[in-house]
């Protein structure tokens, strides 16, 4: 069998083959991935697709993504083996090659997601460890703990606020799977702390934010620190005559939550009522919204012991 590696832009014939293969195995649409495979994200990420073939037949794949601005983290997805070829170590060989290339390029933490016990055993043999509260695994190439990784990865210096884009496809993973103390992180994208609710997604997290395109009824913003780490996210979403805003930050960057939320509020339609939601135990977020002129209008219970405070601010033209 032959192991091959490809970097976008890929030929249309190969894109068609990969999309058909992944859709058949994972039973979901990969139509949105076509643009990436065609080179649509080359300015943001280094993508590498690994394939295994038996003669000309595609029998296995995996896909490595590393941000161009931050080579120390990466994400692994599309780990797939044809049913009739399983049990032959194909997935392990593909993942091992991807991990080797990642480490050689200076990578430190490679994330992937799975709820499949058989797949988890393959990853664990290659050094991946399950992150508490998530179906997400991390391979710490430099042999440090996940806690130490967070300490080293996030600096406490200045941040810049930018509109969200594909360069945050991977950086948002460690931010979201970090065990935040408050339960509800972002009501717009339905993101909860792994301390309260199992995070099922890994490489599937970015699509929740990529839908928030500016000028199409929603937007998202990023707080990026001087090392390139994603320190926080905020979102704005218009619904009828209201615009819902929300966001969260890594604990070391609590002081910039106001700045991040102001970016989302500033994007909102100036003729609408701006609404915010925060978990009852999220004292920081409630105080920030209160300082920005929001008032509590109601409370409700999500039914999973999470009480949510709803706050509103009327914005006049």
Q: Say yes or no: 15 and 145 in one domain.
A: yes
Looking at residue 24, its pLDDT comes to 95
For position 244, what pLDDT does the model report?
A: 94
**Whose CA is closest to 122, among 92, 157, 161, 167?**
92
Measured CA to CA, the distance from residue 40 to residue 70 in angstroms comes to 18
User: In this structure, are 304 and 268 located in the same domain?
Assistant: yes
Which SS3 state, helix, strand or coil, does residue 3 take?
strand
pLDDT, tens digit only, all 317 positions of the chain: 899 999 999 999 999 999 999 999 999 999 889 999 999 999 999 999 999 999 999 999 999 999 999 999 999 999 999 999 999 999 999 999 999 999 999 999 999 999 888 889 889 999 999 999 999 999 998 877 898 999 888 876 789 999 999 999 999 999 999 999 999 999 999 999 999 999 999 999 999 999 887 667 899 999 998 888 999 999 999 888 889 999 999 998 889 999 999 999 999 866 689 999 999 989 999 999 999 999 999 998 876 667 899 999 865 54
Please tell me the predicted confidence (pLDDT) of residue 269. Answer: 67
Residue 14 shares a structural domain with residue 133: yes
The Cα-based distances of 245 to 26, 54, 86, 132, 204 in angstroms read: 33, 51, 46, 28, 22
Please tell me whether residues 136 and 37 are part of one structural domain: yes
Q: What pLDDT is stored for residue 239 in this prediction?
A: 84
State the burial class of residue 193 (Cβ atoms within 10 Å of its Cβ: 0-12, 13-18, 19+): buried
Query: Is residue 215 one of the residues assigned to a domain?
Result: yes
Q: Check whether residue 184 and residue 132 sit in a common domain.
A: no
Same domain, 143 and 20: yes
Q: Which domain holds residue 222?
A: 159-314
Structural domain includes residue 154: no
Helices vs. strands in the chain: H and E counts, helices first: 9, 16
> Looking at the structure, do residues 92 and 194 belong to the same domain, yes or no?
no
Which CATH number characterizes residue 29's domain? 3.40.630.30
What does the alpha-carbon distance between residue 120 and residue 129 come to, in Å, rounded to a whole number? 9
Number of structural domains found in the chain = 2
Cβ atoms 49, 61 nearer than 8 A: yes
pLDDT of the residue at 252: 84
- Does residue 145 sit in the same domain as residue 11? yes
């Amino acid at each position: 069998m032959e192991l091959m590696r490809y970097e976008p832009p890929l030929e249309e014939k190969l894109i068609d083959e990969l999309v058909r293969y992944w859709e058949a195995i994972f039973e979901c649409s990969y139509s949105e991935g076509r643009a990436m495979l065609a080179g649509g994200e080359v300015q943001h990420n280094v993508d590498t697709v690994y394939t295994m073939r038996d003669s000309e037949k595609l029998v296995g794949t995996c896909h490595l993504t590393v941000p161009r601005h931050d080579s120390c983290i990466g994400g692994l997805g599309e780990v797939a083996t044809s049913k009739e070829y399983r049990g032959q170590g194909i997935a392990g060989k593909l993942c091992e090659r991807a991990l080797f290339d990642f480490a050689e390029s200076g990578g430190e933490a490679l994330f992937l997601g799975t709820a499949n016990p058989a797949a988890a055993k393959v990853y664990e043999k290659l050094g991946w460890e399950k992150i508490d509260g998530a179906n997400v695994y991390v391979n710490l190439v430099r042999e440090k703990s996940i806690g130490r990784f967070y300490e080293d990865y996030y600096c406490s210096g200045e941040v810049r606020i930018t509109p969200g884009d594909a360069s945050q496809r991977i950086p948002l993973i460690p931010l979201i799977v970090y065990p935040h103390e408050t339960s509800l992180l972002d009501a717009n994208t339905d993101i909860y702390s792994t301390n309260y609710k199992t995070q099922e997604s890994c490489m599937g997290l970015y699509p929740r934010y990529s839908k928030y395109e500016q000028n199409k009824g929603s937007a998202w913003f990023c707080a990026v620190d001087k090392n390139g780490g994603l320190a926080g996210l905020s979102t704005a979403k218009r619904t009828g005559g209201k615009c819902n805003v929300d966001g969260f930050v890594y604990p070391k960057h609590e002081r910039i939550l106001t700045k991040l939320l102001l970016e989302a509020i500033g994007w909102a339609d100036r003729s609408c009522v701006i609404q915010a939601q925060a978990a009852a135990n999220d004292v920081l977020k409630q105080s920030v919204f209160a300082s920005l002129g929001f008032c509590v209008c109601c409370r409700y219970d999500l039914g999973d012991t999470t009480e949510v405070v709803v706050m509103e601010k009327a914005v006049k033209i």
